């Protein structure tokens, strides 16, 4: 394990700094927006704008990298991403914040492209699953740490925005100083939604629903936590509990899906997510702080692994030569859901109140479970010998998986064909 991680240690340090800042920013902005009396719809639009920028970055980032190289692109995107939180703190206006969130989403998509293609370059087929499992665990862990940093200062002050800017800006140092070889030019896959739906309707719909629910959660949950508890610090505790739950459950649920099947685990996770959401809806205002945090932990544990399992399920049915296309189009479906999800949830919150977010997630998780159950009556599960190991699916489910190196994909294809 040590020999596999040492070549990427500086990259993972950069990831840790970058996403600690992102975790703090993701919780800080909805809370500050609520304090500034931004409407729920405005906050939802800001959330959708982030994922709109993110989706655009996934498609255009590869061109930028091909033009000037990984290191220069990383430095440029870090500079832009670190300027955004300072402007958020200085200009308290919804339209400006929406534009800044679009910029931030674009920057982070390109940053992920650089980091993940670099990780692919320095890892081998034998250790890639472990490297990306470590990457996912670090990502979710530092997100939780960043969210807890909101307790350091009053969100009304500029201090927290400054901390976000510092963390993002210094993330460039270990990356540009890394001795790991710079990756080759990334290759984008051709989008073929019709082919993806023929390969795995269940995986396609699950990816879309994951975007609808997770996008709404990241955009609105901090404000919901404050609204339900009446305590500003609850945003940090609640968000961290969700992230920790997702981080701890990712690997064991994935391994179970290798053994008992993808669709049974997806149905179980989706139903559990829906039940927990309904508990928050019915008991959220009455429950104590510890109970709300516990429900958040359980919701994250059930909801967050669903996208990676959907990727694994789809790849089980795909031809090895189609892994690039499958991963990139699933990401597109997730991104489209994440753009629309905050808008739908914010409308629900406008009419229902804070618990409208979990009415939204509960409905779409129930739709996921029902659709997968329906598909199970129409198609048998893929034979176990065709299963892509869940550790490898974490690579495919990475944030910018459409830049998955062509050579790496061919190695996986060769292995799967044996």
Three-class DSSP labels, 63-116:
HHHHHHCHHHHHHHHHHHHHHHHHHHHHCCCHHHHHHHHHHHHHHHHHHHHHHH
As a whole number, the mean pLDDT across the chain is: 84
* Contact status, residue 375 vs residue 201, Cβ threshold 8 Å: yes
* Contact status, residue 290 vs residue 229, Cβ threshold 8 Å: no
- Segment 28-42 shows an average pLDDT of 94
Whether pLDDT at 413 is above 70: no
pLDDT tens digit string along 89-115?
999 999 999 999 999 999 998 898 888
Output the pLDDT for position 386. Answer: 53
Output the pLDDT for position 406. Answer: 45
Output the pLDDT for position 383. Answer: 55
| E strand map for 281-342 | none
Helices (H) and strands (E) in the chain, counts: 18, 0
Output the pLDDT for position 410. Answer: 46
Whether pLDDT at 417 is above 50: no
pLDDT tens digit string along 293-315?
999 999 999 999 898 888 888 87
- Segment 275-300 shows an average pLDDT of 88
Q: Which of 32-36, 215-219, 231-235, 293-297 has the least mean pLDDT?
A: 231-235
Which carries the bigger pLDDT value, residue 316 or residue 371? 371
For 279, half-sphere exposure in the C-beta direction (CA atoms, 13 angstrom radius) is 17
Output the pLDDT for position 365. Answer: 97
Cα 125–chain centre separation: 24
388 three-class SS: coil
* Element (DSSP H or E) covering residue 156: none
Output the pLDDT for position 403. Answer: 41
Instruction: List b or e across 279-289, with b for residues whose CB sees 16 or more CB atoms inside 10 angstroms.
Output: bbbeebeebeb
Whether pLDDT at 15 is above 70: yes
**Can you tell me the distance from the alpha carbon of 66 to that of 387, in angstroms, rounded to the nearest whole number?**
33
Delimit the domains of the chain by residue range: 2-178+186-417
Sort 251 into a burial class: Cβ within 10 Å, 0-12 / 13-18 / 19+.
middle
* Element (DSSP H or E) covering residue 403: none
Output the pLDDT for position 128. Answer: 65
Supply the angle between the helices 323-352 and 306-317 in degrees, to the nearest 10.
150
Residue 138 — very low, low, confident or very high, per pLDDT cuts 50/70/90? confident
- Segment 29-42 shows an average pLDDT of 94
Residue 393 — very low, low, confident or very high, per pLDDT cuts 50/70/90? low
Residue 418 — very low, low, confident or very high, per pLDDT cuts 50/70/90? very low
Cα 274–chain centre separation: 19
User: What single DSSP character describes residue 402?
Assistant: G
What are the backbone angles phi and psi of residue 126, rounded to the nearest 5°? -75, -30
Whether pLDDT at 135 is above 70: yes
Say if domain 2-178+186-417 classifies as CATH 1.20.1250.20.
Answer: yes
Residue 411 — very low, low, confident or very high, per pLDDT cuts 50/70/90? very low
Joined tokens for residue 130: 């472990």
Q: Quick one: what percent of the chain has pLDDT higher than 90?
A: 49
Joined tokens for residue 86: 């300072």
Output the pLDDT for position 53. Answer: 94
Whether pLDDT at 192 is above 60: yes
pLDDT tens digit string along 233-269?
899 999 999 999 998 888 788 888 888 888 899 999 9
* Contact status, residue 291 vs residue 276, Cβ threshold 8 Å: no
User: Cβ of 415: how many Cβ atoms within 10 Å?
Assistant: 13
Distances (CA, A) of 104 to 52, 107, 132, 302: 10, 5, 24, 28
- Segment 280-284 shows an average pLDDT of 86
- Segment 1-13 shows an average pLDDT of 74
Joined tokens for residue 274: 């829906």
Q: Of 172, 300, 163, 328, which is closest to residue 239 (Cα–Cα)? A: 300
Whether pLDDT at 129 is above 70: no
Whether pLDDT at 9 is above 90: no
| E strand map for 130-198 | none
Output the pLDDT for position 37. Answer: 92
- Segment 192-200 shows an average pLDDT of 81
Place of tokens 């990676």: 308
pLDDT tens digit string along 70-80?
888 999 999 99
Output the pLDDT for position 382. Answer: 55
Supply the angle between the helices 234-260 and 201-229 in degrees, to the nearest 10.
160
Q: Of 215, 168, 180, which is closest to residue 24 (Cα–Cα)? A: 168
For 269, half-sphere exposure in the C-beta direction (CA atoms, 13 angstrom radius) is 31
Whether pLDDT at 374 is above 80: yes
Joined tokens for residue 416: 């799967």
127 three-class SS: coil
């Amino acid at each position: 394990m040590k020999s596999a991680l040492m070549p990427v240690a500086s990259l993972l340090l950069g990831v840790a700094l970058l996403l600690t800042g992102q975790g703090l920013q993701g919780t800080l902005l909805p809370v500050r927006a609520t304090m500034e009396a931004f409407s729920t719809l405005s906050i939802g639009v800001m959330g959708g704008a982030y994922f709109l920028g993110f989706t655009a970055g996934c498609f255009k980032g590869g061109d930028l990298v091909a033009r000037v190289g990984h290191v220069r692109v990383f430095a440029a995107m870090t500079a832009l991403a670190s300027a955004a939180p300072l402007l958020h703190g200085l200009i308290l206006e919804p339209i400006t914040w929406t534009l800044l969130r679009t910029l931030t989403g674009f920057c982070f998509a390109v940053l992920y492209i650089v980091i993940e293609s670099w990780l692919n370059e320095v890892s081998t087929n034998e250790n890639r699953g472990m490297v990306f499992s470590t990457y996912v665990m670090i990502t979710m862990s530092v997100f939780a740490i960043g969210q807890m940093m909101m307790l350091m200062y009053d969100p009304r002050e500029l201090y927290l925005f400054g901390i976000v800017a510092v963390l993002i800006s210094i993330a460039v140092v270990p990356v540009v100083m890394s001795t790991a070889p710079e990756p080759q030019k990334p290759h984008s896959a051709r989008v073929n939604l019709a082919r993806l739906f023929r390969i795995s309707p269940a995986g396609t719909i699950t990816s879309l629903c994951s975007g609808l629910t997770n996008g709404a959660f990241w955009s609105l949950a901090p404000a919901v936590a404050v609204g339900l508890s009446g305590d500003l610090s609850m945003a940090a505790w609640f968000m961290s509990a969700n992230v920790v739950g997702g981080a701890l459950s990712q690997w064991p649920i994935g391994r179970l899906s290798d053994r008992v099947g993808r669709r049974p685990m997806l149905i179980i996770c989706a139903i559990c997510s829906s039940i927990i959401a309904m508990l928050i809806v019915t008991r959220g205002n009455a429950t104590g702080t510890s109970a709300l945090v516990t429900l958040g932990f359980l919701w994250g544990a059930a909801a967050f692994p669903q996208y990676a399992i959907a990727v694994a399920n789809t790849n089980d049915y795909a031809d090895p030569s189609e892994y690039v296309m499958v991963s990139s189009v699933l990401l597109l479906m997730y991104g489209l859901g994440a753009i629309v999800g905050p808008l739908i949830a914010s409308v629900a919150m406008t009419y229902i109140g804070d618990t409208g977010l979990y009415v939204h997630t509960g409905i779409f998780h129930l739709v996921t479970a029902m659709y997968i159950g329906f598909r199970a009556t129409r198609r048998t599960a893929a034979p176990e010998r065709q299963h892509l190991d869940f550790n490898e699916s974490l690579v495919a489910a990475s944030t910018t998986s459409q830049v998955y190196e062509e050579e790496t994909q061919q190695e996986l294809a060769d292995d799967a064909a044996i």
